[in-house]
């Protein structure tokens, strides 16, 4: 996965699921092609197959489970995701948290399947604690700022600094309220390797403009 990275989480918004997921994914693909910058998307499990078929950029699952193929009703085996063309997975998002025991097993299963693993953490300390499990990147997102109008970059830049210090400069993404290029620029200047965004793009009236604004600071 090329860094710095913009990862957009489609969540389960009406604007970013079903037929809308494919349309929005194609806009991300277009921006990545035009700019040459690293963009990935995390989509709902029900949209994965259609989205993977429609774009060239990396497609992530929003979650996976530490299970193999078999009698696993309702579970998402990492090997199944990989077979569908998925590039990576999010784990432990604040809206889908799991225990440390399950997280460790999920990371191991996802890595064994060949998936790129990004683990979400509510605090720098939690992120530092997760490093030992071997994720590729850790996205630090203060939950109180997720989906809000004020970004972590502006409201709590010290969290970015502390995350880089505790987790390592090569492993940190930041998210929570990230909306524009100014947020991206601050995050990069403070040592992050990219940003995790959701509503700033999915709920935008002009998604392409929003994506471009977020990603253009990657150019140095």
Active site residue 141: yes
The predicted-structure confidence for 156-203, as pLDDT tens digits, reads as follows 788 889 999 999 989 999 987 788 899 899 999 999 999 999 988 999
Question: What is the rounded distance in angstroms from the CA atom of residue 103 to the CA atom of residue 197?
Answer: 22
- Of 125, 55, 115, give the one whose Cα is nearest residue 90: 115
Look up the pTM and report it.
0.95
Active site residue 93: yes
CA distances from residue 89 to 61, 107, 162, 172, 183 in whole angstroms, order as listed: 5, 9, 25, 16, 24
The reply to whether omega before 4 is within 30° of 0 (cis) is yes
- Of 156, 212, 153, give the one whose Cα is nearest residue 188: 153
In the structure encoding, which two tokens stand for residue 104, read together? 């460790």
Residue 130 CB-half CA count within 13 A: 32
Q: Which of 34, 141, 144, 189 is catalytic?
A: 141
User: β-pairing, 194-197 with 5-9?
Assistant: parallel
The mean pLDDT value of the chain amounts to: 94
Q: Which of 14, 28, 63, 93 is catalytic?
A: 93
Question: What is the rounded distance in angstroms from the CA atom of residue 25 to the CA atom of residue 144?
Answer: 27
Question: What is the rounded distance in angstroms from the CA atom of residue 211 to the CA atom of residue 209?
Answer: 6
User: What's the average model confidence in pLDDT over 93-97?
Assistant: 93
Question: What is the rounded distance in angstroms from the CA atom of residue 173 to the CA atom of residue 5?
Answer: 8
Domains detected in the chain: 5-218 (3.20.20.70)
Helix (H, G, I), strand (E, B) or coil at 133: helix
Percent of the chain with pLDDT over 70: 95
Q: What is the pLDDT of residue 150?
A: 62
Residue 144 CB-half CA count within 13 A: 4
Sequence-ordered alpha helix ranges (H) in the chain: 19-35, 48-54, 78-83, 100-112, 124-130, 152-155, 157-167, 181-189, 199-202, 207-215
Phi, psi of 165 (to 5 degrees): -65, -45
Task: Answer whether residue 151 shows pLDDT above 70.
Answer: no
Task: Answer whether residue 1 shows pLDDT above 70.
Answer: yes
């Amino acid at each position: 996965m090329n860094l710095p990275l913009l990862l957009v989480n489609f969540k389960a918004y009406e604007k970013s699921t079903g037929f809308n997921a494919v349309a929005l994914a194609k806009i991300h693909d277009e921006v990545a092609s035009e700019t040459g910058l690293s963009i990935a998307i995390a989509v709902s499990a029900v949209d994965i197959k259609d989205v993977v078929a429609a774009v060239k950029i990396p497609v992530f699952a929003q979650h996976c489970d530490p299970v193999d193929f078999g009698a696993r009703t309702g579970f998402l085996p990492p090997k199944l995701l990989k077979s569908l063309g998925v590039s990576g997975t999010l784990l432990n998002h604040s809206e889908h948290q799991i225990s440390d025991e399950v997280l460790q097993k999920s990371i191991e299963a996802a890595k064994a399947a060949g998936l790129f693993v990004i683990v979400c953490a509510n605090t720098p300390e939690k992120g530092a604690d997760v490093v030992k499990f071997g994720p590729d990147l850790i996205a630090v997102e203060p939950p109180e700022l997720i989906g809000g109008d004020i970004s972590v970059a502006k409201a709590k830049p010290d969290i970015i600094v502390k995350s880089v210090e505790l987790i390592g400069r090569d492993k940190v993404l930041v998210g929570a309220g990230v909306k524009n290029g100014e947020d991206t620029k601050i995050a990069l200047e403070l040592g992050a390797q990219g940003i995790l965004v959701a509503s700033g793009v999915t709920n935008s009236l002009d998604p392409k403009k929003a994506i471009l604004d977020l990603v253009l600071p990657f150019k140095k």
